[in-house]
Structure 1
Amino acid sequence: MEETSVRDLPRALGNEDLTRRLAACRPAVFLDYDGVLTPIVSRPEDAVISDGMRTVVRDLASRCPVCVVTGRDRAVVQQLMGVDDLVVAGSHGFDIWTPQRGSVSDDRVARFADLVAAVTERLRTETGTIPGALVEPKRASVAVHYRLVDPADRNRIEAIVQTLLTDHHGELKVTPGKMVYELAPAINWDKGRAVLYLVDVLGLDSADTVPVYLGDDITDEDAFRALRGRGIGILVGRPDDPEMAGRNTAAEFALASVDEVERFLTTLAR
């Protein structure tokens, strides 16, 4: 599938082609959380959505379907947002909840609960002597953040993760992100598959509906690829951001920042 250098993406704001495509159909909006609805922060618990963004998301949800697709634990992101009536796919789409049906993934989550608990405990123990390492437990996965770890010690985090993958060969997979490793059960599931599942479950596959996905991380590329030819992918981030350096993307458009996301969503909500 053709991909584009991040630096060559056209801007979404004020883009005539994008405006025409959105005017012809009802959007169904899928939003990553960190880096899209809130800026990236050093400590995950500090990523609380702003009042302005919360209002915009609520306004948009009153006009069209809105779903949050995040690497975060589902319950945690619902708490951080202060919004409990949106569809949320947590743990990279592994843990899906809808206001109408509740959890639609409890069986899948429960099947791997013991594995996730054991890996979480080992990560806590083995990274406990590394200053700045943060372990984030989730219902269906566990993340270890190293943004606050001294660069000289970051290889120790990687070594611990690799050892866990070896010890649980065939049971675990790792998803790298922005200064984070996510360890999850090794099943064929990701944000892209979660979005396609939601499009089907929520009845969003009609000709007059266009899925629009906003994301910033490598994990969001699965969703951009899944929607190519049937939806619109928008990458959030600046081309000069070191974490975007050399990156190609399956997204079609770009927004530079969370502030631009808020402006873009405001236009959709009108």
Structure 2
Amino acid sequence: MMIQKHEAHELPSALEKLHELKTQLQGKTPAVFLDYDGCLTPIVKRPEMAVLSDYMRAALQDLASVTKVAVVSGRDRQNVEQLVKLDNLYFAGSHGFDISGPDGMASEPGGAKAALPALDKAEIILQEKLRHVAGSQVERKRYAIAVHFRNVPDEQVENVRNAVNEVLDAMPALKIGHGKKIYELKPNLDWHKGKAVLWLMEELGLNDSQYIPLYIGDDITDEDAFAALQGHGIGILVGEHDDKTAATYQLESVEEVRVFLEDLTATIKKQNNG
């Protein structure tokens, strides 16, 4: 299937098109997948500052009481679990390489363990190469290394990219991923957020006609999920990024995400009681 992509500003608002969305959902239950940073919390200067609000946590908990909800993040699974603090959700960390959920679900379906030695080595090299670059941050995750340059002066960003390229050239077990002011070194495997969502749909028995997958994300890494669901699911982009998008609708902010989730919960409850 040819993936259709649009400029973000061309997308209709998911809030303004709620009636259209509800028509698509009629007789079906949405299985909801969401990114964390920039979607459930605003983008912040340092990753440890992205704290979930009580209002958003309540909205997620309420939604998870009526349908399956999964947080799909580039963060380590344990980290995003600790930030969300809800045990009725599913969590796919490290872009889907590490997945957990209620009733003891635990799986690492992407085969990333083989890349751990390369990641260990790359972390040491990058820390050394970038220790003199002001504002840079090398964040080690279990199955990735995020090199943050949001706080790096513009004239130094090229030094960061050169350091990342040197490591990648020497380590074919790793590949680059792009995000908002991040270069990410990941296992060089055919696995991403889109495949993780499809894996969860299969694992949770959500592939019959009763369910429709709905993915909400803000970053370039979420495009794999939007593309994977195009034609049989709903993709909602939060804000904009630097590329075209395979999403169908847009929400402007984290606050709009919360409003949308609350409305979605009310819609599902109404259907269940109807």
CA distance in 1, matches of 2:143, 2:87: 20
Aligned counterpart for 1:97 among listed residues 88, 92, 100: 100
SS at match of 2:66: coil
Counterpart code for 1:127: L
Q: What are the equivalent positions in structure 2 for 1:1-270 lying under 5 Å apart?
A: 1-15=3-17, 16-105=19-108, 108-169=111-172, 171-237=173-239, 244=241, 247-270=243-266
CA distance in 2, matches of 1:24, 1:249: 28
Q: Which residue of 2 aligns with 1:241?
A: none
CA distance in 2, matches of 1:107, 1:156: 31
TM-score (norm 2): 0.92
CA distance in 1, matches of 2:259, 2:27: 20
TM-score (norm 1): 0.94
CA distance in 2, matches of 1:45, 1:191: 22
Q: Which residue of 1 aligns with 2:270?
A: none
CA distance in 2, matches of 1:19, 1:107: 34
Residues 132 and 149 of structure 1 are in contact (CA less than 8 Å); yes or no, is this contact kept in structure 2? yes
CA distance in 2, matches of 1:248, 1:184: 22
SS at match of 2:99: strand
SS at match of 1:251: coil
Counterpart code for 2:114: R
CA distance in 2, matches of 1:25, 1:114: 44
CA distance in 1, matches of 2:15, 2:134: 41
CA distance in 2, matches of 1:197, 1:100: 17
C-alpha root-mean-square deviation of aligned residues, in Å? 1.4
Residues 98 and 104 of structure 1 are in contact (CA less than 8 Å); yes or no, is this contact kept in structure 2? no
SS at match of 2:184: strand
SS at match of 2:75: coil
Which region of structure 1 is more displaced relative to structure 2, 250-259 or 9-18?
A: 9-18
Counterpart code for 1:163: E
Kindly provide the CA deviation profile for residues 126-185 of structure 1, in whole angstroms up to 9, marking residues without a partner as x: 11111111111111111110001111101011001100110012x111001000011011
CA distance in 1, matches of 2:187, 2:55: 36
Counterpart code for 1:268: L
CA distance in 2, matches of 1:132, 1:23: 49
CA distance in 1, matches of 2:62, 2:147: 34
Residues 12 and 253 of structure 1 are in contact (CA less than 8 Å); yes or no, is this contact kept in structure 2? yes
TM-aligned CA deviation for residue 98 of structure 1: 2.0
TM-aligned CA deviation for residue 83 of structure 1: 2.3
Kindly provide the CA deviation profile for residues 12-70 of structure 1, in whole angstroms up to 9, marking residues without a partner as x: 00312112112331010000000000000010000010010001000100010000111
Identity %: 45
Residues 168 and 175 of structure 2 are in contact (CA less than 8 Å); yes or no, is this contact kept in structure 1? yes
Kindly provide the CA deviation profile for residues 80-130 of structure 1, in whole angstroms up to 9, marking residues without a partner as x: 222244211111111111222332118834332222211112221211111
SS at match of 2:117: helix
Residues 236 and 254 of structure 1 are in contact (CA less than 8 Å); yes or no, is this contact kept in structure 2? yes
Residues 69 and 90 of structure 1 are in contact (CA less than 8 Å); yes or no, is this contact kept in structure 2? yes
Residues 197 and 225 of structure 2 are in contact (CA less than 8 Å); yes or no, is this contact kept in structure 1? yes
